[in-house]
Structure 1
Amino acid sequence: MPEETPRTSGPLRRIRRDGISYTLLGTAHVSRASAEDVHTLLASGDFDAVAIELCPARHQALVNPDVWGQTDLYQVFRQGRAAMMAASLALGAYQQRLAEQFNVRPGEEMRTAMEGALQRGLPVLLIDRDVGTTLRRVYRNVPWWQRLNILGGLLGSVLSREQVSEQEIERLKEGDLLETTFAEFADRNTVLYEPLIAERDQYMAARLCQEARRDGYKNVLAVIGAGHLKGIASHLETGNTCADADATVRRLEARPPASRWPKLIPWLIVAVILAGFGIGFSRSPDLGWAMIWDWLLINGVLSALGALIAAGHPATVLTAFLAAPWTSLNPMIGAGMVAGAVELYFRKPRVADFNNLRHDVTHWRGWWRNRVARTLLVFFLASLGSAVGTYVAGFLIYDRLIGG
């Protein structure tokens, strides 16, 4: 490292490739010292661009805390983005809990980098992969039987009121919120480590090369989590990551194709249920009608129970009861979507609900108190009740056939 390079408390690497100097600053996302390191480096005036470990979505959330207020929840349900929104809220809740414990805003070094770049008229390069793409690749990379375990761990980590442990603090000094949230699983699961950490190292290295070459930057400061420094440096120094940066970015941005068989399962279940009704009526009208009532009551009651547990409006609970038996026979629309739409109609979120959303979801009671979060709960719990009802009623229907 040249002697004129300012001293920093965090790890620092300078790499020269293809006539471009990349200065990689490893930061801790809950450290004031990291923000001071960024300020020190920018004050040197050596750089013509600043790259930060953010994607456009996370950048928008950082600079515009009220971004959720611009969300159309009905469109979120229609477009199948409810799970992604809930995951983003969960990560935001964990971030807020850290802020309260450490009395510091996580990501302060990123804000310092953006503000310092703006003051000096330097461009800000967003080099991290879209958080939605990363979560989808994590989800697709994990065997289906492990997904519920990971989702449970995520919810447990963000809703817990326990103080962050010393072990987790050390992880935060090296990684980012995504990695820390999934750290329990990433440490022992190579299929999770690959999309969450290794792919992002390669992606960010490729984005650095891509941006620098395209706009002719010669001295780029990259503010990244310390845990990514070694991987990014390795990709910058060796391999084909920079030699074919465009192809690398396209490959790692691709969303993995969904498996076909999960899409076929709902239709197969519908076919089996309808076949059961047909067999029942062929044996006896009384048996057929008994099976119909089993289907209507079990599916409707469990979906309504889910909406009730979510503290949905009485009309929402009634709608879940009436809609679930029929939506379960049409995989194109779910009981949760219908119940969520009714909840939105009767209890439109207020401006205060959006403003307080990030803070409310840090505690489990806030998910019921905040209208935005409660609508998501209605969607998920009504859907879960209907799904459970489908299987319970289906087994009961075929039990009647076998017993009859």
Structure 2
Amino acid sequence: MSLAPIASDALPEMLADQPIERVHRDGTEYVLLGTAHVSRASVDAVDTMLGHEAFDAVAVELCESRAQGMRDPEAFRRTDLFQVIRQGKAGMVAASLVLSSFQQRLGDQYGVQPGAEMKAAMDGAEHAGTRVWLVDREVGTTLKRAWRSVGFWQRFGLLGSLLASVLDREQIAEHEIEKLKQSDLLESAFSDFASQSEPLYRSLIAERDAYMAARLREEAARDPAAPPRKVLVVVGAGHLKGLATALREGQDDPAATVAALASTPPKARWPKWLALGLVLAVFALIAYAFVRNPALGADALRNWVLFTGGFAALGALLAGGHPLSIAAAFVAAPIKPFRPGIPAGGISAMAEAWVRKPRVGDFETLRDQVSHWSGWWRNRVARTLLNFFLVSIGTLVGEYSAGIHILKSLF
């Protein structure tokens, strides 16, 4: 069933300033409507477009997890923090929270929920019984590909951009929000860094343009006997030009394109080998110290424990951790080389989550609280994630500090 057209005298005025592209391909007309993800005008444009033209399907720039979050806002409170930490997903969850808080901050200024235009598109289509296509790549995959596409030093720029989006409290004028139609949410959160890094721009924008174009072609071809005649595609306007080009010109097999762009590149091995090499070098120095003088060796071993455990515990302390999570950090960090698996930050964070179990209210207020830097210490979920990162950083600092101190004591 398609959406029935409703005459609207206001249509030309309503959509006059909205970015729209029409692409005809394989018997289907794709009407691409560019939106700002926090904009009343974009919500109105979606409603007007749905009411004016008949569509056989509505595609939205959402992945399954983001769509589920919009359909079931309560789902996040069922998150198992222990599993998030054990499975090494703490970084992705924290990054997603920062991005959603950036968007939430914009929406709070004008009473428009983030992604309201996407929800309006889904609700309008479902109300009329029209198919809804989720065509964006999973946000976790995009963040991983972006992270692994840039060099070691550029990653500090990524972290700095994410941090700046949390700390920046400046109010943004509504006409400036409309200017976000010229960029993507992820690109906006990373600010100028994205435009200056070709690998990052490719991961955040260009790859998703190609992915969404392939997904549209894939969905349209599901029923060759009755392909959809017209499809409304609601995307952030930063994707409009690239998506239209990819949709017109793409000749590769769409399923193969989707599979290739949905894969996660392997981690670079050199950081792991570098860290392992550092630890082995330090323990070689400790062994050498024992050979030279047992008392000197005991001092070197003590310094290893104090530096690694001390800095890890300091990280937990700075995160506002419970005394038990601080103690867990102190104990776990020095024995890291003999305990492969969950890092010291993970052990400390799990101790924090066990002692200070997140309450329902923590999940309910999580996105609002993390939009301000102080909320990361007030919310139990956010504080657990913060504990993980600060303890992990502290452990790394402690290892380098211990190595330097031991080396100086021997030579």
TM-score range, shorter chain: over 0.9
| Among 18, 22, 33, the residue aligned to 2:30 | 22
Q: Which secondary structure state, in structure 1, belongs to the residue aligned with residue 274 of structure 2?
A: helix
d(CA) in 2 for partners of 1:120 and 1:214? 21
Change (3 A) 1:86 1:361: same
Letter in 1 for 2:375: G
* 1:347 shift after superposition: 0.6
Residue in structure 1 matched with residue 239 of structure 2 by the alignment: 228
Matched, 1:339 2:339: no
2: CA distance, partners of 1:137 / 1:165: 32
User: 1:127 & 1:111 partners in 2: Cα distance?
Assistant: 14
Q: Could you list the per-position Cα deviations for residues 293-340 of structure 1 after superposition, in whole angstroms to 9, with x for gaps in the alignment?
A: 111111111111111111111121122222221125545332111111
Q: How does 1:148-297 map to 2 (within 5 A)?
A: 148-164=156-172, 169=177, 171-215=179-223, 216-241=227-252, 244-297=253-306
Between 1:47-56 and 1:221-230, the stretch displaced more is 221-230
Counting only pairs closer than 5 Å after superposition, residues 244-393 of structure 1 correspond to structure 2 as 244-393=253-402
Q: Give the % identical residues.
A: 52
Give the conservation status (yes or no) of the 8 Å contact 1:54–1:127: yes
- Mapped to 2, the partners of 1:162 and 1:45 lie a distance apart of 39
Task: Tell me, yes or no, if the aligned pair for 1:328 and 1:386 is still in contact at 8 Å.
Answer: no
CA distance in 1, matches of 2:250, 2:42: 30
1:109-154 alpha-carbon deviations (Å, 9 max, x no partner): 1111011001110111011111111111111111111101211111
CA contact (8 A) 2:161 2:191 kept: no
Partners of 2:125 and 2:59 in 1: how far apart? Answer: 10
Given that 1:303 and 1:386 are in contact with CA atoms closer than 8 Å, whether structure 2 keeps it comes out as yes
Q: Which range is displaced more, 262-271 or 142-151?
A: 262-271
Task: Report the alpha carbon displacement of residue 199 of structure 1 after superposing the two structures with TM.
Answer: 1.2
Contact 1:328 1:387 in 2 (8 A): no
Deviates more, 1:110-119 or 1:231-240: 231-240
**Post-superposition CA distance 1:356-398 (Å, at most 9, x none):** 1111111111111111111111111111111111110011111
Q: CA deviation at 1:180?
A: 0.9
Counterpart secondary structure, 1:13? strand
Give secondary structure in 1 for the equivalent of 2:374: helix
- Under a length normalisation based on structure 2, what TM-score does the superposition of the two structures give? 0.92
Q: In 2, distance between residues paired with 1:334 and 1:232?
A: 41
The aligned counterpart of 1:76 is 84
Report the Cα offset of residue 12 of structure 1: 1.6
Q: How many Å separate the matches in 2 of 1:245 and 1:239?
A: 9
Deviation at 1:275, TM superposition (A): 0.9
Q: Read off the aligned partner of 2:249 and give its amino acid letter.
A: T
Contact 2:36 2:178 in 1 (8 A): no
User: How many Å apart are 1:166 and its aligned residue?
Assistant: 8.0
SS in structure 1 of the partner of residue 234 of structure 2:
strand
> Match for 1:85: what amino acid?
V
Q: Please tell me the residue identity of whatever aligns with 1:34.
A: S
1:166 & 1:277 partners in 2: Cα distance? 61
CA distance in 2, matches of 1:372, 1:328: 28
Counterpart Cα distance in 1 of 2:100 and 2:50: 28
The Cα RMSD (Å) is: 1.8
Q: 2:67 aligns with which of 59, 75, 89?
A: 59
